[in-house]
Chains A and B, each alone.
Chain A
Amino acid sequence: MATVSIRTVRKAFGSTEVLHGVNVEVADGEFVILVGPSGCGKSTLLRMIAGLENISRGEIAIGGRVVNNVPPKERDIAMVFQNYALYPHMTVRDNMAFSLLLAKAPKNVIDEKVGRAADILGLAPYLERFPRQLSGGQRQRVAMGRAIVRDPQVFLFDEPLSNLDAKLRVAMRAEIKDLHQRLKTTTVYVTHDQIEAMTMADKIVVMNSGNVEQFGAPLELYDRPANLFVAGFIGSPAMNFIRGRIEGGAFRSGSVSLPLPATAPASHTGDVVYGIRPEHLRLDPNGVGATVLVTEPTGSETQVIMQLGDAVMHTETRMIGAFRERISHRPGETLHVASDPTLAHLFDVTTGARLS
């Protein structure tokens, strides 16, 4: 087990820089998830930790040792690839034993380690099968087994669940989290799925076009997003944004007036963006009137897409609300909603930075 330190790391492919000075500190035994839209550089960063891409500038240290010029095999890491990268011509047993075989481990040690990993992952009955004879979830487990047998300092996962169907993905999510809690190995995990990030991580690194937007615990990111990007990226359905101004201690956008969060500045030059999560809107007869556009009942809650206030069609005033109540309003009817000011967020419109 070890810490992973990423210090002002830059990566350029030719003249194109894809990582612009990334800083992340992963503590010993932590489960850190790199999340962001595709092309944000998260996979590149992971591959740099693994040693599959070289580091243009800055340094990466694993367990206190700078590994910039250390080849992958000497970094004491194990990686699970998106398409599993199981060796098709080897049985499950041989796939898992391969790294130990290369390390010239004695046969009884290999058998013991493979056996233990197979037990942990429930793969014991499949050891003599070939990868093509396994289901997606089983292949995923073999890939993890291959990582476990090495007992590495750091586990690296590169979008390991994106090839699985939705139901299996949820099951494997819990399985990986459980595995981490048992093995307590430092883990860096890449995904583009913010729900995966929220549910599994100890800490999340939100990345966007080569920069770290925010680094923190999942709920910290949810409760206090540092900027518009994180606010819009974390949470599902996504946060509602309304553009407007701060006037007289309240937020105004057209005819709509909303109470400010207590921590918000009393005044601000220029436009601001008011952010409120769908689940933080509540039905309130004294609230703002909104025209229902679409209702989407999911059973546990009802999501309502609505047009806020009586403004003419502004996309900014279109909002989603998620209510625990069952809503029988038809499209075109008016719903009165209120936002809880303590749960609202304010951002500067130009910099995107949090104001409160």
Chain B
Amino acid sequence: MTDIAADQPAVTEADGPQIMSWDSGVRRAMTIYVPLTVFVLVLLFPFYWMAITAFKPNGELMNYKDNNPFWINHPTFANINKLLFETDYGHWLTTTMGIAFGSTFLSLFASVLAAYAIQRLRFKGSEYVGLAIYAAYLVPPSILFIPLAQVVYQLGLFDTPYALILTYPTFLVPFCTWLLIGYFKSIPYELEECALIDGATRLQILRRITLPLAVPGLISAGIFAFTLSWNEFIYALAFISSTEKKTVPVAVLTELVQGDVYHWGSLMTGALLGSLPVAIFYMFFVEYYVSSLTGAVKE
């Protein structure tokens, strides 16, 4: 920033307004662009690291003396080849996708009904039900997986995708319910009263009035649920044992680390490919996502 300051001519008193603009220009840079740039660099660096590691030959990976660690000298597809054709990666991806979609759908369905009932029907004790749902969210999965394992085993779901589809909602439902309660609250109640007088039933109101207006909220709850189930680790580690049924985060770690040998190249490729679906998801829906966190329904 010092060079920007040095470029400015000496200011005289007559330059009043210019001082202001000069000042605000520097201030903008200092308060907005510099922190933003730092922020973006820090956030994107892991992706960059994953990407270059994925294309590096093993020799280059280990030898930082002769190679620049931040660049690839001899790009190779060997890691990708190994990941895609020597492991069940395709299988892992589809399994993870199926589980994420399944549990997201299930959670959204339950959460919409729960949030609507708590926020709009105001039945007796609805506040406490809301709090109880929230309390369930506070139990850490690292503790909950032990009793859940019993349940999963007793139901005969162990080592099947259903074990995860049915257990992920334990943390997804509370989260989505609370997000949707907040969103439903922003939809004017008069609209529903009006629909009530117009002759709609509660379910018709939910389907024709509330849900269409809550689409941004539904999308952001969906994105959250999808991301959380996509990245979930501990349940997936505990409830699935067969190699081909594992989800990406678990499989990458358990199948590409053999003993004390880390297949860094393939590991990073797996991580990179595994994070793409979520990134693509966010990219499409970022506007809804932002609007649901910041804005209410406008007529």
Contact = CB atoms under 8 A, between A and B. Distances in A.
Interface residues of A, number: 27
Contacts of B257: none
A323 interface: no
Nearest to A130: B299
B184 to A, nearest CB: 15
Nearest to B194: A85
Nearest to A102: B199
Nearest to A134: B299
Interface in A75-133: 77-79, 81-89, 98-99, 102-103, 131-132
B190 interface: yes
B271 interface: no
A73 interface: yes
Scoring B190, B191, B193, B194 by chain A CB atoms within 10 A of each residue's CB, the highest score goes to B194
B196 A52 contact: yes
Scoring B197, B200, B204, B299 by chain A CB atoms within 10 A of each residue's CB, the highest score goes to B197
Contacts of A89: 212-213
A55 interface: no
Contacts of A150: 198
Contacts of A77: 197
A339 B285 CA distance: 73
B100 to A, nearest CB: 28
B297 A88 contact: yes
A150 B200 CA distance: 13
B143 to A, nearest CB: 41
Given A102-B204, A132-B298, A132-B299, A85 B188 contact: yes
A50 interface: yes
A85 B191 contact: yes
Contacts of A146: 194, 198
A353 to B, nearest CB: 38
A139 B190 CA distance: 15
A51 B199 CA distance: 12
B278 to A, nearest CB: 28
A78 B299 CA distance: 21
Contact of A85 (B190, B199, B200, B298): B190
Interface of A: 50-52, 71-73, 77-79, 81-89, 98-99, 102-103, 131-132, 139, 146, 150
19 contacts: A50-B193, A51-B197, A52-B193, A52-B197, A71-B196, A73-B198, A73-B200, A81-B193, A81-B194, A83-B190, A84-B299, A85-B188, A87-B195, A88-B213, A88-B297, A98-B198, A98-B200, A99-B199, A131-B299
